[in-house]
Structure 1
Amino acid sequence: MKIYISSDMEGCTGVVSAAQADPGGQEYSFGRVMQLHDLDAAVKGAFDGGAERVIVNDAHGSMTNVDISRLGRGVRLVSGSPKLLGMMEEVGGCGGAVFLGYHAMAGTEKAVLDHSYDKQTIYSLSVNGRKMGEAGFNALLAGVQDVPVIAVSGDCALCIEAGSLLGENVETIPVKEGLAHAAALCLPPEESCEKIYAGVKRAAEKLKAGEFSPFTMEAPYVLDVGLANTMQADAASLVPGAVRIAPRALRFETEDALELRRVLYSVIASASAQKGAF
C-alpha cells in the first residue's frame, strides 16, 4: 500500500503568520521546522497503519521547503516547481492521499492564512457550482486518478471545510483553532504530533480495510474563477477557453478534470502579471 502526502505549510502546528510561511519572511525557518515536525508524525502514522511506501510532495510555495536529509527509508520526496499537477504531482497510483498542513479557502472567517492558491489574485473558486479551495480542488485531481483523500490536517476551519465536502469518513486532524486571519489558539508540538500520528495511522488502517472512495464529480467540469480585480480578469480572459461571466470572474469548461489544473495556473500566471498595476 502506497500513501501520498501533500505537504503544505500554512496549516502546520503553530504557524499563524505570513512571516512564518513565506520564504522571505523573518520567521520562515520556524515554518520549515514545523512542516517537518508534522510531516514526521504523518509519515510514521502512515507506515504504522500499513503503508509500504510513502510519497511526500512538497506542496508549499516554491516547493523546496522539505529537507530530504530528514526523511527516512521508504519515503520518496517530490520537490521543486513548476510541476504539471503542482500540489498533487505523482498522486496517481497511490492508495490514498493525506493533505497535511492545509488551510481553508479564501474568504473563510476565523481561518488561519486563508487563501486559494494565490492570495493576490484568486478571490473564489467553484467547480460545477460547488465552492472549494485547495483541499477540494486537489481532492478532485486525486479522485479522477482513483485516489481517495483519507486524512486532512490544519486548523478547525479547514477541517470543517474538508469534512463537509469529502464526507465524515475522512480523518480530520485540527492542530489549531483560528481566531483571525493571522491568529490562532495552537496545540503544542507534542500534542499535535500525537494527534497527527494517530489520525493518519487510523486513516491508513481504514484505507487498508477498503473504507474510502475517491471524491469525484460528473463531467463536463465547469470551473468558475473569481479574481481580485478587473485588470486581472482582463489579462486572464486571454487564456484559451475563457468566458467572461462577470467583471472579475471567468468560466472554463472541459471534459478532462486534470485540464482544470492547467487552466487554473494559466489564469493565475496571467493575472499575476497585473499585481500592483494600478
Structure 2
Amino acid sequence: MKIYISADIEGITGVTSWSETDKGHADYSDFVKQMEKEVCAACKGAIKAGAKEILIKDAHDSGRNINPAVLPRDVKLIRGWSGHPFSMVQELDESFDALMFIGYHSCGGSKHNPLSHTMNSSDVNYIKINGRYASEFLIHAYAAATVNVPVVFVSGDKGLCDEIKEVNENISTLAVKEGIGNSTLSIHNDLAVELTQKKVEQTLSSNFKLCEIKLPDSFEVEISYAKHTKAYKASFYPGMKQISPTNVLFKTKDYFEVLRMISFVV
C-alpha cells in the first residue's frame, strides 16, 4: 500500500494565532513540534495498516517546517515548492492508493477557524468552485480525483470536518479543534496524536475505495481578492473575466486548467 500525506499547520490542535504558524516568531516552535507529532502519528497508523511507502508533502508556507529527522526512517518528505499546479499534493499520481490531509483548516469566507483562508491569506478573500466556498482540502481533493486517488482521512478544525461530510460522508475525519470568533477550543495535544494514529489505522484497514470523489463535469471558479488591483491583473489570465472590482470568474471543463489558473493568479 502506497500512501500520500499532505500536512498544513492552521488545523493542528491548539494553533490559534498567525504568529504560531510563522517561523519568524517565538510562538512557532512549540506548534510546529505538534504538527510533526500529528504527522508522525498518521505515518505510524498507516504503517500498522500495512503501508509500505509513504510520501509526505510539507504544505505550509515555505514548505520547510517538518524536521525530517523526526519521521519514520522509511518515509520520504517533499520540502519547498516545485511550482507544479498540484501544489499541496505535488508528485501525487495514479500509483498511490490513498491520500490523507493533516492539520488542514476551514476555507476563506468561513467562520470556523481564526485562521480560515484559502491558498493566500493576505490577497484572497475566498475562492468558490461551482458556487461552493472552496477550502484547500477541496481544491486538492479534486486534484487527487483527476488521478483516481481517494482522500481517506482528514484532521483539522470542526468546520472543515463538517464540510468534508457534505462532499463524501465516507471520508474519515478528526476534529482536533473548533474556532469560536478569534479563539479556538482544542483537544489535548497527546489525544490528537493518539486519535490520529488510531483513526488512520482503522481507515486504511477498511474499504476506503468508498472515499472516492466524483469530479463535476465543468467548473466555474470565482476568486475574490482583498484589493481591486489584484483582480484587475488576474483578469488578463486567458479565459478570465472580471465580474466586479474585486472578483474574477474562470470557466473550464478541465480541472487541471483550474489548478493551472490558481497557480498563476493566487
- The corresponding residue for 2:14 is 14
Q: Which residue identity is paired with 2:9?
A: M
Give the aligned partner of residue 272 of structure 1: none
Map 1:204-219 → 2, pairs under 5 A? 204-206=204-206, 209-219=207-217
The one-letter code matched in structure 1 to 2:172 is: E
1:94 matched to 2:93? The reply is: no
SS at match of 1:101: strand
Of 230, 233, 244, 1:246 maps to 244
Q: Which residue of 1 aligns with 2:34?
A: 34
| Equivalent in the alignment of 1:147 | 149
1:127 to 123, 126, 129: 129
Q: How far does residue 122 in structure 1 lie from its aligned partner after superposition?
A: 1.4
- Equivalent in the alignment of 2:190: 190
Q: Secondary structure at the match of 2:113?
A: coil
Shift in Å, 1:232: 1.5
User: How many residues of Structure 1 are paired with residues of Structure 2 in the alignment?
Assistant: 264
Partner Cα distance (1:255, 1:74) in 2: 39
Q: Which stretches in structure 2 are left out of the alignment for 5+ residues? A: none
Kept in 2, the 8 Å contact 1:17–1:113? The answer is yes
> Is the CA contact 2:113–2:157 (under 8 Å) kept in the aligned structure 1?
yes
Indicate the percent of aligned positions where both proteins have the same amino acid.
31
Deviation at 1:256, TM superposition (A): 2.5
After superposition, residues 1-278 of structure 1 pair within 5 angstroms as 1-84=1-84, 85-92=86-93, 93-165=95-167, 167-181=168-182, 183-206=183-206, 209-268=207-266
Q: Are the aligned partners of 2:11 and 2:104 in contact in 1 as well (CA < 8 Å)?
A: yes
* Equivalent-residue separation in structure 2 for 1:244 and 1:259 (angstroms): 18
8 Å contact kept, 1:153–1:175: yes
Alpha-carbon distance between aligned partners in 2 of 1:149 and 1:91, rounded to the nearest angstrom: 12
1:142–1:214 contact (8 Å) kept in structure 2: no
Contact 2:223 2:247 in 1 (8 A): yes
Q: Tell which deviates more after alignment, 122-131 or 1-10.
A: 122-131
Question: Mean Cα displacement is larger for which, 119-128 or 39-48?
Answer: 119-128
Compute the displacement of 1:224 (Å). Answer: 1.5
Deviations, residues 153-173 of structure 1 (Å, cap 9, x unaligned) = 0111111122222x2111110
- Shift in Å, 1:71: 1.6
| 1:205-242 deviation line (CA, Å, top 9, x unaligned) | 12xx3542422323332222111121221121122221
> Which structure 1 segments of 5+ residues have no match?
269-278
Distance in 2, matches of 1:242 and 1:88, equals 25
For residues 163-193 of structure 1, what are the alpha-carbon distances to aligned partners after superposition, in whole Å with 9 as ceiling and x for unaligned? 222x211111011122224x21211121111
Is residue 171–residue 211 contact of structure 2 (8 Å, CA) maintained in 1?
no
CA distance in 1, matches of 2:218, 2:209: 28
**In 1, are the aligned partners of 2:152 and 2:208 still within 8 Å (CA)?**
no
Contact 2:150/2:209 (<8 A) preserved: no
Task: Tell me how far apart the structure 1 counterparts of residues 217 and 25 of structure 2 sit (CA, whole Å).
Answer: 41
Query: 2:58, 2:64 within 8 Å by CA — same for their partners in 1?
Result: yes
Distance in 2 (CA, whole Å) between partners of 1:109 and 1:130 is 15
Q: Within 2, Cα distance between the matches of 1:58 and 1:105?
A: 19
The 1-side partners of 2:157 and 2:125 are apart by 20
The separation in 2 between residues aligned to 1:262 and 1:31, in whole angstroms, is 32
Paired with 2:50 and 2:237, the residues of 1 have a C-alpha distance of 44
CA contact (8 A) 2:150 2:208 kept: no
Task: Indicate if the aligned counterparts of 2:112 and 2:157 stay in contact, CA closer than 8 A.
Answer: no
- TM-score normalised by L of structure 1: 0.90
Q: What letter is aligned with 1:144?
A: T
Instruction: Using the TM superposition, give the Cα deviation of residue 54 of structure 1 relative to its aligned residue in structure 2, in angstroms.
Output: 0.9
